Chains A and B, each alone.
Chain A
C-alpha cells in the first residue's frame, strides 16, 4: 500500500496559498515599491470529509496526481479572493 500525504483541511490549504502571497508582497518587492493589493486564485481541488457533527473537518487540497484515474476523487474547483490589509487593522 502506498502512503500518500494526507489531504489538508480547507483552512490550511488557503493559509498556505496566502503564505505564497506574503512572499510575493514581501519586503524585497516592497522595497522597490511593488506590493500586491489583491490575489485571486482558482485551482482544482479534491474534497473529502473527516469526522462528523461539530468535529466535522472539510479536507480540501490540490489533486494528488496530475494525471486523473478512476481511482481519484472527482476534482472540484476552489476560487479564493484575498485582499491586502495593513497589519494591525481590524479584519472584517
Chain B
C-alpha cells in the first residue's frame, strides 16, 4: 500500500486505470476462450467517483485518496470509454517524431533536464523545430511563463540544438573553377551547417574562412594556404561552438631517389650512350 497521505500524479493514476481496464478485458476474453463460450463481454465504458484531495506540485496535478473519516475530500468523476483504432490514430499524439530533420527535444541532451522537457511536452512542444517555431513567432516569453523556463534557458537549449556538427573535413576534389582553381577547397560534411539559410561562421587557426558554397549538410570553404590543417571552429551562436581538428594538407608527391653510381642497383640497365646506339640497335645509323 502506498504510504498514508502520499499523493500520486494524476497522469500515473489514469495510466494505472487504463492498465487495469486492459487487464480486465484480457481476463474476460481468456475466460470466454477457456470456457468455450460463444459470447464474451467487452467494456464499453466505466465511470468512477473517486474521493480524493488535489494538490499541485511543480506544475504536476497530484491526487491523494481520501482516508477514513475524511469528509472534506473532492469528488473526481472519471469516465473511461473504449475507443476504436481510427479514433486512436486521430487523437493520439504522434510519437514517432524521431528523424534527423526534426529531432525530439530529447536531443537537447543536458541543455534541459527531464522535468523541463516534460513541462515543454505538456504544452505540445515535443520537437526541436516546434520549439524553434515558437521562438520565431516571438512566443518565447509566453512559453517561459507557462513552463517556468527562463528565456535564456530556452535560447541556450535552442543554441545547443542548432549547434553545427561536423562528420568529415576533406579536400574538395573538384577544387574551384577559373582563378579559384589555383586555391584549395575544403569540403565540410555534417549537420546544422545552415541556420535560417545562413552558413555557420567558420574559423581555422583563429582566422575567418570564406564559405563559397553551403547547404545544411555540406560547406565548401576557400581556406588560405596555411589553413589546410589545425583547429576549425564553426558557430551560429558564440555560446555553442563546434570545434574539430583536421589535417587536409595534400601528401607530398614521392620523389624518385637521386641516382648515384653507388646507388644504382646491380640489375638496372645503364643508360645507353649515343655512341652505343648502333650496337644497341643494329638497324640504326650512328650520328655523324
Which residues of A are at the interface with B, using a C-beta cutoff of 8 A? 9-12, 14-15, 18-19, 21-22, 25-27, 30, 35, 38-39, 45, 47-54, 56-58, 60, 70-87, 91-92
Contacts and interface: CB of A to CB of B under 8 A. Distances in A.
26 contacts: A11-B27, A14-B24, A15-B31, A18-B41, A22-B31, A22-B37, A35-B39, A45-B48, A48-B2, A52-B8, A54-B15, A56-B16, A58-B17, A58-B20, A73-B68, A75-B51, A76-B50, A77-B48, A78-B47, A79-B47, A81-B45, A83-B42, A84-B39, A84-B40, A87-B33, A87-B40
B20 A9 contact: yes
Contacts of A39: 41
Contacts of B39: 22, 25, 30, 35, 84-87
Interface string B67-93: 111110101000000111000000000
B65 interface: yes
A21 B37 CA distance: 12
Interface of A is mostly: mixed
A58 B19 CA distance: 10
B49 interface: yes
Interface magnitude class on chain B? 35 or more
A30 B8 CA distance: 45
Nearest to B27: A15
Contacts of B8: 49, 52, 56
